[in-house]
Amino acid sequence: MTVRCPSCGTLNRVPDATAGRQVRCGKCKHPLDQAARGPVGVSDATFAADIEQSPLPVLLDLWAEWCGPCHMLAPTIGQLASELAGRVRVAKLNIDENPSTAARYGVQSIPTLLLLKNGREVDRLIGVQPKAEILRRVQRLLE
């Protein structure tokens, strides 16, 4: 069976009998289990390594625990993380716990979705957006 790494996009051959074993990407060592297909949690401390140095384009969800619209958007972000695995890295950053990154990007309203390529912002969506619109913007990023 072949599995695409959600972190770096490398195709990995994985034996069918992997129950109970931790399977990792041969290139970046990222876990390949089902739980790893969700959005990656990032912080101010890990932002450079996880986002700026990502070999894949990034869809970054800036959110807060108290934000109702952020919670409305969360299932869509989870679906996109699974659907775009290996092509786009989907990540979440809690702005209350990581104010430096939020300030750096001038985030004044949440939820805010940043689309980054090669560590640079190329597009921004503010507020709850339909999945189709987010995918349309991501597709432009992949062209």
Tens-digit pLDDT profile for residues 55-104: 889 999 999 999 999 999 999 998 898 788 778 999 999 999 999 999 99
pLDDT value of residue 95: 96
| Whether the predicted pLDDT of 28 surpasses 70 | yes
**CATH at 25:** 2.30.30
pLDDT value of residue 1: 63
Token digits of residue 60: 């970054």
pLDDT value of residue 16: 60
pLDDT, the chain, mean: 87
Same domain, 65 and 112: yes
Q: Does the predicted TM-score (pTM) go above 0.95?
A: no
What value does the mean pLDDT take over residues 25-35? 76
Same domain, 19 and 57: no
Range of the domain at 11: 1-37
Tally of structural domains, the chain: 2
Instruction: Assign 38 a pLDDT band (cuts: 50, 70, 90).
Output: confident
Nearest to 91 by CA among 29, 10, 6: 6
Same domain, 75 and 10: no
Catalytic residue ranges? 67, 70
pLDDT value of residue 17: 53
What value does the mean pLDDT take over residues 111-118? 96
The dihedral through the CA atoms of 128, 131, 134, 136 has a sign that is negative
Same domain, 32 and 44: no
Burial of 86-118, coded b for 16+ CB within 10 Å and e otherwise, reads bebbbbbbbbeebeebbeebebeebbbbbbbee
pLDDT value of residue 35: 42
Same domain, 51 and 6: no
Determine if residue 23 is left, alpha or beta; phi over 0 gives left, psi from -120 to 50 gives alpha, anything else beta. Answer: beta
Dist. CA 77–CA 73, nearest whole Å: 6
* 133 and 125 Cβ atoms separated by less than 8 Å: yes
Same domain, 45 and 19: no
Distance of CA 94 to the CA centre of its chain: 13
* 98 and 64 Cβ atoms separated by less than 8 Å: no
The helix or strand, by DSSP H or E, that contains position 125, with its residue range, turns out to be strand 120-126
Same domain, 48 and 20: no
The rounded percent of the chain whose pLDDT value lies above 90 is 56
